[in-house]
Amino acid sequence: MRKIIYILGLFSAFTFTACEDDLNLEPFDALDTSSAFEKNADFTQAIRGVYRSLLNASYYGGEFYLLPDVISDNLIISSEGRTSYSGYYLFQQNGELAWLGFFNNAHNTILRTNYIIENIDNLEDGEFKNNILGQALALRAMAHFDLGRVYSTPPQFASGDDLGMVYVTETNAGLKPARIGVSEYFSLIEQDFTQAVGLINADNGTGFLNKASVHGLLARFYLYTGQDQKAITSADNTIAATGTSVATFDEFPEVWDDQTEAGVLFKVINTDLDQVRIGVVYNQSGPDGVRDEYVPDFGFFQLFGTEDIRSTWFEQGQFAGNTYNHITKYLQRPGSNQAIVDAKVLRMSEIYLTKAEAHANLDQDAQALAALDVVRTERYDGFVLPGTEAGNALDDAIALERRLELAFEGHRHFDLKRKNLPIVRTDAGDEADGGGIAPPPNALTLPASSPLWQMPIPQAELNANPNMQPNPSNN
């Protein structure tokens, strides 16, 4: 009997031992948001986290390079590819085909900056704080600018009731914000960039913004928004701040496999650990050849002369019995897997071409030509200085050079858009000699008047946020 009582006692002692404390489990790979910003190192890590968001495959890690060229006259689809992004290529954008990945990602970049900005006063005043804040503001402005370029009318063409996007400055996930006017939106971008320039360090190392590259982003911003004089000033500030020029003729090919930083103002570093296959949006190479997703528009391809160093961006090769012009700009970095290279966001040649175009717009042909020649002399074998163009011919030369120099870096669509120009594709096929399958007739041109120049607002956003106004293209 006593044994039974012992056993019973033992039994109940075990049974009613509270295990309630064991319900408080902490994750091994995260900390509460409220304790994420305490020390300097926390902010250093958080600002790196913003740069990392740029590397997302729907942002500078891939699509943001591709789609502005796909929705333009620079690329046509390969009939032997996987028909990736063909809806965009065929001008079939709608609420379900509205670059949702980029929309999400750019806003996630903004969220990461806003967490830093909201907590910035946890830091002591001084250079460290200024530099963190400067980078956060510049990155916030850059993401808003990218969104604005995709979804809004350029402010110089906008009417009074045209809409910009939402300028997000807080981390409250419960917000359902409405869009603001175009001019207000773009002036908020300018404000962040301008404030950032005053705060950021002159040098933060490769892969990070600094004073020169923020000046450079401002130059891009001013040119896009039609503010030529400011574009010139910002370009000059950039040039002054870096003290360097464009990559030379010899250096140029090495820019694309990350062997040199020459002429690169800002790039997002893509390590072997990240494994972001930036170039896979163009093609994949295998033992039996390179399988293209997109190939250069044949008319555009013919603009790259043999004396042009940029003709090394193409290789002819066979696939499935046909010959194609493969785009090899993002093929490979030695030692890394295929298609893994750093994402070049801003280069000195863009700054010079921006300066050239802005001067030309202001009929300052001499300065424009000089800036243009800085680029041209390093791109063409045997280029004779100085160039000879003036007037409209100079305008055309600048536009041509810009199209060639910035091809496949996500500019062409926006350059056409800010100049109110149509897309006119060459009626030629996808094969190396212009044979093969040409764009269907309804995809040969997109008039400048088309509402599709403002990408539709993603349906997912319209569903979740009743205050979000659609674009004309949503209908």
Partner 1 sequence: MKKILLTCFMLVFVLYAWAQDRTVSGTVTDADTGEGLPGVNVLLKGTGTGVNTDLDGNYKISVPSDGGTLVFSFIGMEKIEVEVGARSVVDVQMKADVEQLSEVVVTGYGAVKRADLTSAISTVSGEDIQSQPIAGIDNLLQGRSPGVQVINQNGAPGANAYIRVRGVGSVNASNEPLFIIDGIQLTSQQYNALNPNDVQEISILKDAAATSIYGARASNGVVLVTTKDGSQTKKPQITYRFQYGAKEMIPNNFEMMNKEEKLRYEVEVGLRTEESADELRNSLAAPDTDWMDVLLRRGTVQTHDLSFAGNGEKSKYFFSFGTYDEEGISVGSNFNRVTGRANTEFELTDYLSFGNTLTVTNSSNNQTRDRNNVQNPFRAMYDYNPYEPEFILDEEGNRELDENGDPIYNPTRQGFSIGEALRNNPEEERFTNAIGNVFAVVEPIEGLRLKSVAGINYRIREREYYVHPGSILDGFVGDPAAPGSKTDNFDVRNQVNWTNTANYVFTPIDGHTIGLVAGTEYIFSDIKQSSISSKGFPSGDFTTHDNASEVTNGSTSINQWSLWSQFGQVSYNLNEKYFATGSIRRDGSSRFGADQKYGVFWAASAGWNIHDEAFMDGVDAVSQFKIRGSVGTSGNIPNELYASRGFYGFGSYNNTVTRIPTQLENRDLKWEENFNYSVGIDYGIFNNRFSGSVDYYTRHTRDLLFNRPVSRTTGWSSRLENIGEIVNKGVELEFAFDAVRSNDFTFTLLGSFANNENEVLDLQNEGEDIVNFSGVSLLREGLKVNTYYLVRYAGVNPANGEELFLTADGEVTNIWSGDNAVAIEGKTPLPTYFGNFGFNTAFKGLALNVNFYYQGGNYVYNTAFANQQLANGNNSARNNQRVDAFNYWKEPGDVGVLPKPGVNVQTYTSDRYLQRADFIRLRNINLSYNLPETVLNLARLKQVQVFVQATNLWTFNPFFDGDPEVGRGSEESDLTNLGEITLYTFPNTRGVTAGLNITF
Please give the Cα distance from 295 to 298 (Å, whole number).
8
Q: Please state whether beta strands 75-77 and 264-268 pair in parallel, antiparallel, or not at all (unpaired).
A: unpaired
From 13-21, 191-199, 407-415, 418-426, give the range in contact with partner 1 by CB under 8 A. 13-21
- What is the smallest separation between the CB atom of 366 and partner 1, expressed in angstroms? 42
From 73-81, 149-157, 293-301, 396-404, give the range in contact with partner 1 by CB under 8 A. 73-81
Distances (CA, A) of 262 to 251, 283, 387, 407: 7, 26, 24, 18
Number of residues lying near partner 1 (CB under 8 A): 101
422-461: contacts with partner 1 (CB under 8 A): 437, 440, 458-461
**417 with 154: CB under 8 angstroms?**
yes
206-245: contacts with partner 1 (CB under 8 A): 207
266-285: contacts with partner 1 (CB under 8 A): 269, 271-275, 284-285
- What is the smallest separation between the CB atom of 451 and partner 1, expressed in angstroms? 14
Sign of CA dihedral 241, 146, 403, 158: negative
Q: At CB < 8 A and 24+ separation, what contacts does 19-28 make?
A: none
95-124: contacts with partner 1 (CB under 8 A): 95-97, 100, 103-104, 107-112, 114-115
The verdict on 202 binding partner 1 (CB under 8 A) reads no
Enter the DSSP assignment of 358.
Answer: H
* Residue 194 phi, psi (nearest 5): -65, -45
Task: CB nearer to partner 1: give 278 or 416.
Answer: 278
The verdict on 469 binding partner 1 (CB under 8 A) reads no
320-379: contacts with partner 1 (CB under 8 A): 320, 334-338
205 Cβ contact list (under 8 Å, min separation 6) = none
293-322: contacts with partner 1 (CB under 8 A): 319-320
- What is the smallest separation between the CB atom of 118 and partner 1, expressed in angstroms? 11
The verdict on 286 binding partner 1 (CB under 8 A) reads yes
Nearest to 275 by CA among 344, 206, 336: 336
* Residue 307 phi, psi (nearest 5): -80, -5
Helix (H) or strand (E) holding 75: strand 75-77
| Biggest CA-to-CA distance, the chain | 114
Task: CB nearer to partner 1: give 243 or 440.
Answer: 440
Of residues 69, 73, 80, 228, which one binds partner 1 by CB under 8 A? 80
399-418: contacts with partner 1 (CB under 8 A): none
Please give the Cα distance from 185 to 260 (Å, whole number).
37
Please give the Cα distance from 69 to 306 (Å, whole number).
22
Answer whether the bond into residue 386 is a cis peptide, omega within 30°.
Answer: yes
Task: CB nearer to partner 1: give 147 or 372.
Answer: 147
The verdict on 2 binding partner 1 (CB under 8 A) reads no
- What is the smallest separation between the CB atom of 245 and partner 1, expressed in angstroms? 25
Of residues 9, 38, 40, 82, which one binds partner 1 by CB under 8 A? 82
Task: CB nearer to partner 1: give 320 or 393.
Answer: 320
Q: Mask of contacts with partner 1, 27-46, x by CB under 8 A?
A: xxxxxxxx-x-----x--xx
Please give the Cα distance from 313 to 316 (Å, whole number).
10
Q: Mind giving me the DSSP string for 118-175?
A: HHGGGSPSSHHHHHHHHHHHHHHHHHHHHHHHHHS--GGG--TT-B---------TT-
- What is the smallest separation between the CB atom of 187 and partner 1, expressed in angstroms? 19
The verdict on 13 binding partner 1 (CB under 8 A) reads no
The verdict on 259 binding partner 1 (CB under 8 A) reads no
Task: CB nearer to partner 1: give 289 or 387.
Answer: 289
